[in-house]
């Protein structure tokens, strides 16, 4: 008989030997919902069994989707694990999504169950029932809601559903910055293979303590962080909301932290971030958006720790990582390290030929393959075919290079490429020059329509606190440094860049804001 490839089974097999040991401690301040609440490994087992039994009691068709838009809580994580356990398909939705967006996801995914925050029940349930969703439950971060009210009446024993490795476990909708959002279909095998590779590459141990301060509607927080701790049988210090001071106060109790660059920037603003506070920490990991080299260096100077940057996507989970172990190489700021074991990565030019890796490597299109790569987009067979090559490699849409040592550097998204007067301009290159200028904290470069050049390069820069930055002076400084076709035609000085919940700059908003500048 084949082994059950249900991801929950693999996670459950690695729970701590002492099931009554603390698995998750809610670490938010006194005002936080559930502050100080502790969950043992046995609690996780029992609670996921009860929620799985509730789902089973609904007589859902095989392969049913469970769409979830709730605030972060341990119970929300338990719901995810219960969906896996019962063999259904988990569909996490960003808490920032509004009615029109949610309506699209519900119509597209056709979930059998929707779980939402209690305060949103009125409008979410209306959308759901219009789309003929049979079940809508509520779940709040204070452990209230109809989902738990029903689940608590169920048995705390449950036999996990039998699943094959290629059975669907989750659908993650991409951010949809161009066109309709696409649902990336991830299997139990995709998720487990990646978690096992990361366990080895990042040296996960049972005595690790992870500070979990990320959202759980996204690959980074839901899969990379949660799976890592569960598969290692390691404790989590759980923050429903990121608070830099509160997180720093718990660093002496932890060994691992995962964050997006914004979280590192905000912690660096705190005087309490010291080498002493980080003395017990084993590893800091950053992802989901590019980490400025300035942040990378400032963190190392202040804490003595070198942040490990890695690279992944909704469609693939993690693809590359800087080395954890010193004997495997240095952690190089500005790079995302080497392809993970089992991951194939190639860089091709516009003609489909391999780019040379001599020196710093030539810029090209990144394609990948491996057991972590998704099967395709939900109900979009044509789009799926477009995104895979004839020999089965996934076109990431990212542009980058691989140097002679094998380190991969992401230069940007291919859709962000600016073609100005027939010349290719890579925004990340220009942003690198901008960020080195005196007084500039960060920048974003985009292309907008231009009657002569097709596209014109423009930049938005954010000044450092107290600094005066003039757009004309920035342009003049760049003209001494880079080719004229790369120099922005206009530079706007603004207080901040628009970002999504994971800290990525929303360049589509900048393009839209300035698209009429020259036409």
| pLDDT at position 484 over 70 | yes
Whole-number Å distance between alpha carbons of 334 and 323: 14
**DSSP one-letter string for 71-105:** ---HHHHHHHHHHHHHT-EEEE--TT--HHHHHHH
Flag whether the pTM goes above 0.85: yes
The CATH class that applies to domain 340-414 reads: mainly beta
Span 2-9, average pLDDT: 94
Whole-number Å distance between alpha carbons of 36 and 26: 5
Q: What percent of the chain has pLDDT over 70?
A: 97
Model confidence at 33, pLDDT cuts 50, 70, 90, reads low
Q: Give the position of tokens 């190392």.
A: 300
Tokens, residue 7: 């991801």
Confidence (pLDDT) at 101: 84
Tokens, residue 148: 């738990």
Whether the CA torsion 360, 362, 365, 366 is positive or negative: it is: negative
Span 408-432, average pLDDT: 85
The fold of the 417-514 domain, in CATH, is GMP Synthetase; Chain A, domain 3 (3.30.300)
Confidence (pLDDT) at 177: 42
Confidence (pLDDT) at 329: 96
Buried-state track 141-169, b at ≥16 Cβ within 10 A, e below 16: beeebebbebbeebeeebebbebebebbb
- Range with the poorest average pLDDT among 33-42, 156-165, 317-326: 33-42
pLDDT tens digits, 199-242 = 999 999 999 999 999 999 999 999 999 999 999 999 999 999 99
**DSSP one-letter string for 146-192:** HHHHHHTTS-S---PPP--TTSEEEEEE---SSSS--EEEEEHHHHH
| pLDDT at position 348 over 50 | yes
| pLDDT at position 29 over 70 | no
Span 360-380, average pLDDT: 96
pLDDT tens digits, 249-294 = 999 999 999 998 889 989 999 999 999 999 999 999 999 888 888 8
The fold of the 8-241 domain, in CATH, is Rossmann fold (3.40.50)
Domain boundaries defined on the chain:
8-241, 340-414, 417-514
Question: Which of 281, 269, 442, 405 is CA-nearest to residue 331?
Answer: 405
Rounded to the nearest 10°, the torsion over CA 270, 459, 446, 104 is 50
pLDDT tens digits, 153-193 = 999 999 999 999 999 999 999 864 445 789 999 999 999 99
Strand bridging mode 418-420 / 423-425? antiparallel
Question: Which of 481, 338, 473 is CA-nearest to residue 400?
Answer: 338
Confidence (pLDDT) at 30: 53
| pLDDT at position 32 over 80 | no
Whole-number Å distance between alpha carbons of 354 and 348: 4
pLDDT tens digits, 106-131 = 999 999 999 999 999 999 999 999 99
Residue 250: enclosing H or E segment and its boundaries? helix 244-250
Span 362-372, average pLDDT: 96
């Amino acid at each position: 008989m084949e082994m059950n490839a249900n991801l929950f089974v693999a996670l459950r097999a690695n729970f701590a030997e002492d099931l009554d040991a603390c698995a998750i401690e809610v670490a938010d301040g006194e005002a936080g919902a559930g502050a100080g609440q502790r969950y043992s490994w046995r609690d996780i087992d029992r609670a996921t069994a009860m929620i799985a039994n509730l789902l089973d009691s609904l007589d859902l068709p095989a392969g049913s989707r469970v769409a979830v838009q709730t605030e972060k809580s341990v119970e929300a994580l338990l719901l995810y694990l219960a969906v896996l356990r019962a063999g259904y398909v988990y569909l996490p939705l960003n808490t920032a999504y509004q009615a029109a967006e949610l309506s699209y996801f519900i119509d597209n995914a056709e979930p059998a169950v929707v779980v939402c925050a209690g305060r949103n029940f009125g409008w979410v349930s209306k959308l759901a029932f219009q789309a003929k969703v049979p079940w809508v439950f509520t779940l709040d971060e204070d452990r209230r809601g109809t989902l738990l009210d029903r689940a608590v009446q169920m048995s705390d024993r449950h036999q996990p559903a039998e699943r094959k490795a290629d059975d669907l476990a989750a659908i993650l909708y991409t951010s949809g910055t161009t066109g309709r959002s696409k649902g990336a279909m991830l299997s139990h095998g995709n998720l487990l293979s990646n978690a096992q590779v990361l366990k080895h590459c990042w040296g996960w141990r049972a005595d690790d303590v992870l500070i979990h301060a990320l959202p759980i509607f996204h690959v980074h927080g839901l899969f990379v962080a949660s799976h890592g701790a569960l598969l290692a049988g390691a404790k989590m210090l759980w923050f429903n909301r990121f608070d830099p001071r509160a997180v720093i106060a718990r660093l002496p109790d932890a060994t691992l932290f995962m964050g997006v660059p914004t979280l590192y920037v905000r912690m660096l603003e705190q005087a309490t971030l010291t080498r002493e506070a980080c003395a017990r920490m084993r590893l800091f990991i950053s992802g989901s958006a590019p980490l400025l080299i300035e942040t990378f260096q400032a963190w190392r100077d202040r804490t003595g720790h070198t942040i490990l940057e890695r690279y992944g996507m909704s469609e693939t989970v993690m693809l590359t990582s800087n080395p954890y172990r010193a004997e495997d190489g240095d952690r190089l700021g500005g790079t995302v390290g080497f392809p993970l074991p089992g991951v194939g990565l190639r860089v091709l030019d516009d003609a489909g030929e391999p780019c040379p890796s001599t020196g710093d490597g030539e810029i090209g299109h990144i394609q990948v393959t491996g057991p972590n790569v998704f099967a395709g987009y939900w109900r979009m067979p044509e789009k799926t075919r477009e995104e895979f090559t004839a020999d089965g490699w996934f076109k990431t849409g990212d542009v980058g290079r691989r140097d002679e040592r094998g380190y991969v550097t992401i230069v940007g998204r291919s859709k962000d490429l600016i073609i100005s007067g027939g010349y290719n301009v890579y925004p990340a290159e220009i942003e690198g020059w901008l960020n080195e200028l005196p007084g500039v904290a960060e920048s974003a470069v985009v292309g907008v329509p231009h009657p002569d050049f097709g596209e014109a390069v423009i930049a938005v820069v954010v000044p450092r606190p107290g600094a005066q930055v003039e757009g004309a002076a920035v342009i003049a400084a760049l003209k001494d440094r880079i080719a004229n076709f790369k120099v922005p035609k206009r530079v706007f000085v603004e207080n901040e860049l628009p970002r999504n919940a994971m800290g990525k700059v929303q360049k589509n908003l900048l393009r839209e804001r300035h698209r009429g500048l020259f036409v």
